[in-house]
Amino acid sequence: MHRTQLYFDEVLFEQVKQQSKNLGLSVSAYIREAVRKELSREREAAKPADFSAFSGMWKDNEITQQSLRSKAWK
């Protein structure tokens, strides 16, 4: 484990202390958990979307430029 130093404004630090107390965690443990959650959320958001479930959904439909135009301008 590595040690680091963080600077918080008073309002933010009071919120962190209160939340860590509510959860029964030390301030350090609460901050570690918050950072873990944020990094996990960012990794999930960075995953490419899986569109494989949509594969073939239009296979039985006529999709041509002419058919789309004729339906759009009715």
In this predicted model, what pLDDT tens digit does every residue of 28-40 receive, in sequence order?
A: 999 999 999 999 9
Instruction: Give CA–CA dist 60/29, Å, rounded.
Output: 56
On the question of pLDDT at 15 being above 80, the answer is: yes
Report pTM.
0.58
DSSP-derived secondary structure letter, 16: H
Tokens of 30: 């609460």
pLDDT above 90 covers a percentage of the chain that reads 53
